[in-house]
Structure 1
Amino acid sequence: MYRQTARTRILDAAEELFSGGGYDATPTARIAELAGVPKGLLFHYFPRKIDVLISLVDERTLVTEHDAEDAEDAVERGAAAAPGDAAGALSRLARRLPLHASPAMRRILFREADTHLSVRERLGRLNAEIITRARFALELAMLGGRGDAARLEAAAATFAAVLLYQESICQLTGHHIDPDAVAELIAHALG
């Protein structure tokens, strides 16, 4: 029990520090201090500092296969209940997609993606997963997709961008983007 709790405290501390000052500016001693654990215990769980970042990204921005299947089932049920309602299908996806990434984790993802390949790859996988789910929701809502594949892909990619990037945009500009409004715009554009 203690090990799991200590590991979680280490990750919590790293998330807070990495999102505030960045990975490179955060010493492992500061992570251990904030977590309330000896520095040696940090290295027991994470032999290298990069292992802390990799674990954070893998564990805290995860859309698991089980979660994705649940979201797909929910989208399929929702789209079946309202065929022709592409905006509703995307809105339901935004509410039900289990994108486990706090605003702090999203800041870490975007800040560290430029310098850490593992973070960039995870961000790419997240983006691809959301695009796949959005395209699936649109295809179901549009009864097989009335538009061409390229338009559906562009619509899905646009919606994925809103879901992933809205926290960064809000942090930079203070403006929150409403996924429901974007869903309406995309549905209108698709006809």
Structure 2
Amino acid sequence: MGSGYGRRVDSPSDARSRILDAAEELFAGGGYDATPTARIAAVAGVPKGLVFHYFPRKIDVLVSLVDERTLVTEEDPEPAPGDAARALSKLARRLPLTASPSMRRILFREADTHRSVKDRIHGLNSEIIRRARFALELALPGGRGDAARLEAAAATFAAVLLYQESIAHLTGHTIDADVVADLMATALAQFG
């Protein structure tokens, strides 16, 4: 069979995806540090050299996983003038953090030891806060209001969304984002 007949020929993107799939499974199960590159290649069904072709260093596999498989999937919220609660509720429904349960485990496990993972979590959090603040600015009469309160409301709402996407899966306890949106809108109206 030296001619290659009977062997599956993958496109480069298929092989790269299989490498990332294998790394996600292995990093989630045993951790980044405990996973040798040779094991990633074996689980992916590719030669070890191909792993290094796509990812020159092992850390590049982790960085690519985190960058490509943890996304905030929606654009800025649609305006909801005069209704901050509705603006936040719409944001909560349209702004899921796309990450599989295994990616969530990787994020939490590796954030303390790998700066790129910590930076990614920080970036995701900042993006959700930015979008929540933008939704509130569009919704509130006069647009801006007290900057410190808007920032606190946006950060609190982002914390709720991140809780829903990460901790709630572990604990089974969820927080109704619509109720939190209403609480935030009521508080902002009272102090605005």
Mark the structure with the bigger radius of gyration.
Answer: 2
Aligned residues: 180
CA distance in 2, matches of 1:181, 1:33: 48
CA shift in 2, pair 1:142/1:60, >3 Å: same
What is aligned with 2:183?
Answer: 185
CA shift in 2, pair 1:19/1:178, >3 Å: farther
Alpha-carbon contact 1:10-1:32 (below 8 Å) kept: yes
CA distance in 2, matches of 1:32, 1:144: 57
What is aligned with 1:27?
Answer: 36
User: Which of these residues, 70, 75, 78, is aligned with residue 78 of structure 2?
Assistant: 75
Alpha-carbon RMSD: 2.1
Alpha-carbon contact 1:17-1:31 (below 8 Å) kept: yes
CA distance in 2, matches of 1:2, 1:46: 16
CA shift in 2, pair 1:21/1:181, >3 Å: farther
Runs of 4 or more above 3 Å deviation: 144-147
CA distance in 2, matches of 1:144, 1:5: 51
CA shift in 2, pair 1:90/1:104, >3 Å: farther
Alpha-carbon contact 1:19-1:107 (below 8 Å) kept: yes
What is aligned with 1:119?
Answer: 117
Bigger mean CA deviation after superposition, 95-104 or 25-34: 95-104
What is aligned with 1:151?
Answer: 149
What is aligned with 2:56?
Answer: 47
CA shift in 2, pair 1:180/1:22, >3 Å: farther
Amino acid at match of 1:138: L
Q: Deviations over 1:86-114 (max 9, x none)?
A: 12111211222363333332332222111
CA distance in 2, matches of 1:144, 1:112: 43
Alpha-carbon contact 2:19-2:51 (below 8 Å) kept: yes
CA distance in 2, matches of 1:177, 1:142: 24
Amino acid at match of 1:162: V
Percent identical residues = 77
Alpha-carbon contact 1:57-1:105 (below 8 Å) kept: yes
CA distance in 2, matches of 1:185, 1:121: 30
1:31, distance to aligned residue in structure 2 (A): 1.9
Amino acid at match of 1:49: K
Structure 2 gap segments, 5+ residues each = 1-9
CA distance in 2, matches of 1:58, 1:146: 32
1:160, distance to aligned residue in structure 2 (A): 1.0
CA shift in 2, pair 1:103/1:156, >3 Å: farther
CA distance in 2, matches of 1:55, 1:165: 24
CA shift in 2, pair 1:87/1:50, >3 Å: same
CA shift in 2, pair 1:177/1:32, >3 Å: farther
